[in-house]
Amino acid sequence: MRKIVAERTSKIDASGIRKVFALAAELKDPVNFSIGQPDFDVPEPLKKEAIKAIKAGQNKYSQTAGDSVLKEKIAEQVTKEFGWSEPAILVASGVSGGLLLAFMALVNPGDEVIIPDPYFVIYKHVINLLGGKCVFVDSYPDFKLPVEKIREAITEKTKLIIVNSPCNPTGAVHSQEQIKALAETAGERDIPVMSDEIYEKFCYDGNCTSIANYYDKTLLLRGFSKSYAMAGWRLAYAAAGEPLRDVIEEMTKIQQYTFVCAPTPFQKAAIAALDYDISDLVGAYREKRDLLYDGLRDKFELVKPGGAFYAFVKAPVGGSATEFVENAIANNVLIIPGNVFSEKDTHFRISYATSNEKIKRGIKILRRLA
């Protein structure tokens, strides 16, 4: 019988996160530490902006690269922050959409992409789908940016280095010294760096340093899903300075034939979001981070997260992380096995984007299981 499905589909697996997310719907009042989306709602003023745009009939396609006013405002902020002159901007359908466009514009079959391990799950599967080669660089046990290992991993086939800070799944925030060292390393070989900064506003112990401050061959990806709880609105942007302007142009061309454009009325709300202060929400998540860390640190081995809303916790001695996760789920706590995000199966991810009451319940159960 002739095979119908394309061969490339064999290069990816169904999302382990989504499997657990689906399982949550079947359980009665679980402690859901599985999904990475805020437990707060879109702020009311931003909802009103979207509703106003919808009622005003702004429901048609926008330009492929995005609403002109939104792009201009993003460009102003990027120029102010990084000093880039007339940066190229593309409004994308979520950072995940931006990642797909970027990989499609950059990665040829056989190209190598250096990825610190652990990593956001999409990187591996989309690169594999495109025929690229993932070169994983171990950052265990402290999840600091492994600059020397990255330097050693560079070959003539290296096309791209990915950095994600604050990081999903570890919550690590890379230091200014580490970021500067990576900029120097990439610059020595003229290798582009993709900086995934979807969690850039969730920094708890100081500022988050972007490599865009030190390296002009950076492709910057930021979004609205986490900071403003717009996960279902699918909205983000890619930005680049002059050295990578052609990458944004190619991503825009590909968007014409894939996403077409990001959702128009939500782009109108994003204009207002760029000026909206969420420091109180970030402060609440700092408290959640502290609550989780203080509740687990004497029973589990874990690095205190510096940002995002995740902790990457080492499973107790005596079994794999997958086995521990199965046991936790049987006790109504939904967590994600670390091998979804890593080439190892030693840790599990907790998303503490839930109520403090649920965090306390989850801590109690996990402590008992340990």
265 and 326 co-located in one domain: no
Q: Please compute Rg for the chain using Cα positions.
A: 20
237 and 260 co-located in one domain: yes
What range defines the domain where residue 38 resides? 7-42+278-369
73 and 37 co-located in one domain: no
76 and 122 co-located in one domain: yes
Q: Which of 220, 245, 273 is the last residue of a domain?
A: 273
Q: Around 175, how many Cα atoms within 13 Å sit in the side-chain half-sphere?
A: 8
296 and 347 co-located in one domain: yes
159 and 253 co-located in one domain: yes
Contacts of residue 49, defined as CB under 8 A and 6 or more positions apart, other chains included, come to 268, 269, 271, 272
Q: What pLDDT is stored for residue 21 in this prediction?
A: 61
100 and 232 co-located in one domain: yes
Is residue 75 a part of any domain in this protein? yes
Which CATH number characterizes residue 295's domain? 3.90.1150.10
Please state whether beta strands 347-351 and 112-117 pair in parallel, antiparallel, or not at all (unpaired). unpaired
Is residue 11 a part of any domain in this protein? yes
Q: What pLDDT is stored for residue 25 in this prediction?
A: 67
Q: What pLDDT is stored for residue 75 in this prediction?
A: 98
261 and 134 co-located in one domain: yes
80 and 220 co-located in one domain: yes
Q: What pLDDT is stored for residue 3 in this prediction?
A: 80
Q: Around 89, how many Cα atoms within 13 Å sit in the side-chain half-sphere?
A: 25
Is residue 54 a part of any domain in this protein? no
Distance of CA 44 to the CA centre of its chain: 25
Is residue 2 a part of any domain in this protein? no
Is residue 166 a contact partner of residue 172, using CB atoms and an 8 Å limit?
yes
Q: How far is Cα 176 from Cα 150, in angstroms, rounded to an integer?
A: 17
SS (HEC) of 233-297: HCCEEEEECHHHHHHHHHHHHHHHCCCCCCCHHHHHHHHHHCCCCCHHHHHHHHHHHHHHHHHHC
Q: How many domains does the chain have?
A: 2
Which CATH number characterizes residue 92's domain? 3.40.640.10
Is residue 47 a part of any domain in this protein? no
Q: Which of 225, 255, 273 is the last residue of a domain?
A: 273
One digit per residue, the tens of pLDDT, for the chain of length 370 reads: 778 888 888 888 775 566 666 666 677 889 999 989 999 999 999 999 999 999 999 999 999 999 999 999 999 999 999 999 999 999 999 999 999 999 999 999 999 999 999 999 999 999 999 999 999 999 999 999 999 999 999 999 999 999 999 999 999 999 999 999 999 999 999 999 999 999 999 999 988 999 999 999 999 999 999 999 999 999 999 999 999 999 999 999 999 999 999 999 999 999 999 999 999 999 999 999 999 999 999 999 999 999 999 999 999 987 789 999 999 999 999 999 999 999 999 999 999 999 999 999 999 999 999 9
Is residue 203 a part of any domain in this protein? yes
Is residue 1 a part of any domain in this protein? no
198 and 93 co-located in one domain: yes
Is residue 341 a contact partner of residue 124, using CB atoms and an 8 Å limit?
no
72 and 201 co-located in one domain: yes
Residue 66 backbone zone (phi > 0: left; psi -120 to 50: alpha; other: beta) = left
69 and 200 co-located in one domain: yes
Tokens of 36: 């990475």
Q: What pLDDT is stored for residue 10 in this prediction?
A: 84
Could you tell me the pTM of the whole model?
0.94
Q: Which of 252, 273, 294 is the last residue of a domain?
A: 273
List, in sequence order, every beta strand (DSSP E) within the chain: 31-32, 88-92, 112-117, 133-138, 158-164, 193-196, 218-223, 236-240, 301-302, 310-314, 333-334, 336-337, 347-351
Q: What pLDDT is stored for residue 171 in this prediction?
A: 98
Is residue 200 a part of any domain in this protein? yes
